[in-house]
């Protein structure tokens, strides 16, 4: 395969420059010739970026391979331009010990097409009662998380932070106070009240963030907040950063682009945290612009079609996002000039790697960005198809992704 990407926008060392780039098999080089090679295809209107890194995905294996496997998830990631993903531990067996972690690592070694790095749990079985074997897992995990559940005990979280600090590993916290959930399953806002749904309070998220900030002050651990969704969360993290607290955070594309006014009686709009209010969405966007929010993660959470067909109340929490994230954010943030392509690259590639100590070569990904198309879940390579962005018009189609000197995705067309 030989392709000349003519006048491509190429990200290098924090700056986007215009260059002609020649792809030969899986090798990319600057093309300085005066005539196009006779055996090369020519493609215009591309951006060439370092492979993305998603610090929050669910690949469901071992235990739930009918939803997603390491192989299908890593292929979907490559289709979305990702070359590194960090996988959450709500699996079976739960990676809370060296033995259980090995069950996942064996599959990763066998089937992963890109870099797949697991989290270990904070507590045994993610039950919040007894700390997991952090020391036994530390050499092969990116950090520790009980994603899907907040650690309710102050004492357990404090000890987890101390031990993670000693190991040089981050704590990635799903912040949720169980006593403030009120049996809810969507945001406690106008849509919930108008349609008779039980709402999840915003306080269930930001109150635990505030607690953890105080624990981070005490321990100094590398602390990362998962999928923030409320204006109060943004402000608490902004203030903590002003005071040099060791904290980073992520949000998802759905919290940037949607709020609860977009809800329909359909499981593809159900995730945790839920879509919040317009004021929350505006605060999330401001956090992206001013640097309070460090990275964008998809929280890619595939389920079966049946599990997502039960409406807002009964459907499983979670939507997929690896294959639509860049097109959405390029279309609705970069093209209108809300943020630069450089900033989006920082959010999706540079900052995640820096925070989680991922130093390997990210490879690269190439997107064509002038031909508009419609997001169609049937085109996804993930087993999951449930997305609130189905039918949305976007720019940014992945043409090729290269990792480790191998082409891990190429658009056959």
Angle at the Cα of 34 from the Cα atoms of 30 and 39, rounded to 5 degrees: 75
Helix then strand then coil, % of the chain, to nearest 5: 35, 25, 40
Which DSSP string do the residues of 309-349 spell out, in sequence order? -SHHHHSPS----TTTHHHHHIIIIITTTSS-HHHHHIIII
For residues 70 and 89, what is the distance between their CA atoms, to the nearest angstrom? 13
> Which residues touch 258 (CB under 8 Å, ≥6 apart)?
275, 281, 388
Active site (annotated) includes residue 140: no
Distance CA(124)–CA(132), nearest Å, equals 5
Nearest to 245 by CA among 134, 161, 132: 161
First-last CA distance in the chain: 13
CA distance 318 to 301: 5
Query: Out of 140, 299, 371, 379, which one is annotated catalytic?
Result: 299
In this structure, the number of other CB atoms found within 10 A of the CB of residue 266 comes to: 16
Q: Which residues of 23-55 are buried (b: 16+ CB within 10 A; e: fewer)?
A: beebebeebeeeeeeeebeebeebbbbbbbbbb
Q: Which of these, 235, 241, 272, 237, lies nearest to 255 by C-alpha position?
A: 272
Query: 3-class DSSP state for residue 358?
Result: coil
**Catalytic residue annotation:** 299
């Amino acid at each position: 395969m030989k392709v000349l990407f003519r006048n491509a926008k190429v990200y290098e060392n924090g700056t986007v420059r215009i260059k002609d780039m020649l792809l030969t098999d899986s090798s990319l080089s600057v093309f300085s010739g005066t005539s196009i090679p006779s055996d090369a295809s020519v493609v215009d209107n591309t951006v060439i970026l370092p492979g993305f890194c998603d610090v929050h995905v669910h690949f469901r294996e071992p235990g739930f391979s009918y939803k997603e496997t390491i192989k299908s998830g890593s292929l979907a990631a490559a289709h979305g331009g990702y070359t590194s993903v960090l996988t959450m531990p709500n699996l079976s067996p739960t990676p809370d010990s060296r033995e259980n972690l090995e069950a996942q690592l064996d599959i990763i070694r066998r089937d992963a097409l890109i870099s797949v790095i697991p989290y270990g749990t904070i507590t045994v079985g993610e039950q919040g009662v007894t700390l997991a074997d952090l020391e036994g897992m530390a050499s092969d995990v990116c950090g520790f998380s009980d994603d899907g559940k907040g650690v309710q005990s102050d004492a357990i979280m404090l000890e987890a932070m101390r031990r993670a600090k000693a190991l040089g590993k981050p704590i990635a916290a799903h912040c949720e106070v169980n006593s403030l959930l009120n049996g809810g399953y969507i945001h406690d806002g106008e849509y919930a009240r108008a349609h008779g749904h039980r709402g999840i309070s915003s306080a269930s998220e930001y109150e635990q963030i505030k607690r953890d900030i105080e624990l981070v002050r005490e321990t100094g651990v590398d602390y990362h907040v998962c999928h923030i969704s409320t204006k109060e969360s943004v402000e608490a993290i902004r203030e903590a950063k002003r005071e040099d607290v060791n904290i980073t955070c992520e949000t998802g594309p759905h919290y940037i682009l949607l709020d609860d006014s977009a809800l329909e009686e359909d499981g593809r709009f159900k995730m945790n945290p839920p879509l919040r209010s317009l004021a929350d969405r505006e605060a999330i966007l401001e956090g992206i612009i001013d640097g309070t929010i460090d990275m964008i993660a998809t929280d890619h959470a595939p389920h079966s079609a049946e599990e997502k067909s039960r409406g807002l109340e009964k459907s499983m929490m979670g939507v997929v996002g690896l294959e639509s994230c860049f097109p959405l954010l390029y279309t609705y943030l970069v093209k209108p000039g809300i943020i630069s392509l450089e900033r989006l690259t920082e959010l999706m590639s540079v900052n995640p790697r820096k925070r989680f100590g991922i130093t390997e070569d990210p490879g690269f990904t190439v997107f064509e960005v002038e031909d508009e198309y419609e997001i169609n879940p049937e085109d996804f390579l993930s087993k999951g198809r449930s997305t609130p962005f189905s039918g949305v018009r976007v720019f940014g189609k992945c043409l090729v992704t290269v990792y480790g000197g191998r082409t891990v995705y190429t658009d056959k067309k």
